[in-house]
């Protein structure tokens, strides 16, 4: 247990350059408070003490502004930065070294008592305001751009941006050290710009083709006019 708590504190220092001391982190980081209260609530939930578990979860929501259902499964070294407005549903599963920013929702899309919330694999980063909905899986080392809405599975090593979320493989553009969390939000792709670029290139190619066809047609017309001795064709 103490190893897990120590790792949770270290995760803050690893991913927040504003963290200056252990005392500061212990006193003033609501993401850490919410995570530790959830670990207590989850242990009670698993042992059938569900009413008290919900009470702790409710208190955590009031105290931190972060709502985590006690049934959610959270791995080691989760870092919730700022966190206000973040909601994590009952059947959500979060792997190791995941980072969530404020106003993120891991929500459900069904009223049935089944797996209805997302699964986030290891080293996933979710930008502020992103909504990940349904029993989908976000592959390891993926980044979800701010305010994206994700409703489909995301392969590992992908970037997702937009509404609805558009998936782009990162190919060779991977972090140099997988053990470090990739926080490069300034390197998110712009699918709309890429689409416009492709459409512009297509229009240029079509215009060039049409121009060649016109030249060929004009040449054939001139040849026919000469062959006819200058009379109408």
The 10s digit of each residue's pLDDT in 134-163 is 999 999 999 999 999 999 999 999 999 888
Instruction: Report the Cα–Cα distance between both ends of the chain, in Å, rounded.
Output: 94
pLDDT at 125 over 70: yes
Nearest to 93 by CA among 65, 49, 63, 124: 124
Q: For 60-83, how does the pLDDT look when each residue is reduced to its tens digit (9 = 90+)?
A: 999 999 999 999 999 999 999 998
pLDDT band at residue 110 under the 50/70/90 scheme: confident
C-alpha distance from residue 143 to each of 102, 169, 189 (Å)? 15, 10, 11
The answer to whether the CB of 118 falls within 8 A of the CB of 142 is no
Provide the whole-model pTM.
0.78
Distance (Å, whole) CA 125 – CA 35: 17
Among residues 172, 174, 173, 146, the alpha carbon closest in space to that of 160 is found at 146
pLDDT digits (tens, 9 = 90+) for 12-61: 999 999 999 999 999 999 999 999 999 999 999 999 999 999 999 999 99
Contact by Cβ (8 Å): 32, 26: yes
H or E element that contains 125 = strand 125-126
Break the chain into its structural domains and give their ranges: 2-187, 190-233
Instruction: Output the six-digit token pair for 169.
Output: 């493989």
Task: Quote the pLDDT of residue 111.
Answer: 85
Query: Per-residue pLDDT tens for 17-29?
Result: 999 999 999 999 9
Q: Which CATH number fits domain 2-187: 3.40.228.10, 2.60.40.10, 2.160.10.10, 3.40.50.2300?
A: 2.160.10.10
């Amino acid at each position: 247990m103490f190893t897990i708590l120590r790792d949770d504190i270290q995760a803050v220092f690893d991913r927040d350059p504003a963290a200056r001391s252990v005392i500061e982190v212990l006193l003033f980081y609501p993401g850490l408070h919410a995570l530790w209260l959830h670990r207590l609530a989850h242990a009670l939930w698993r042992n059938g003490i569900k009413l008290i578990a919900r009470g702790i979860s409710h208190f955590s929501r009031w105290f931190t502004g972060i709502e985590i259902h006690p049934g959610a499964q959270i791995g080691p070294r989760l870092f919730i930065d700022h966190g206000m407005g973040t909601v994590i549903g009952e059947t959500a599963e979060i792997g190791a070294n995941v980072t969530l920013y404020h106003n993120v929702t891991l929500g459900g899309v069904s009223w049935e008592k089944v797996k209805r919330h997302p699964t986030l694999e290891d080293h996933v980063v979710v930008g502020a305001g992103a909504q990940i909905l349904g029993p989908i899986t976000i592959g390891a080392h993926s980044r979800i751009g701010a305010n994206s809405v994700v409703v489909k599975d995301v392969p590992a090593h992908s970037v997702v941006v937009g509404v609805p979320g558009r998936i782009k493989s990162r190919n060779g553009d991977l972090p140099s050290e997988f053990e470090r969390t990739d926080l490069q939000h300034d390197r998110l792709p712009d699918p709309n710009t890429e689409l416009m670029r492709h459409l512009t290139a297509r229009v240029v190619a079509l215009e060039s083709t049409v121009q060649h066809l016109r030249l060929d047609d004009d040449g054939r017309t001139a040849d026919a006019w000469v062959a006819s001795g200058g009379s109408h064709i």
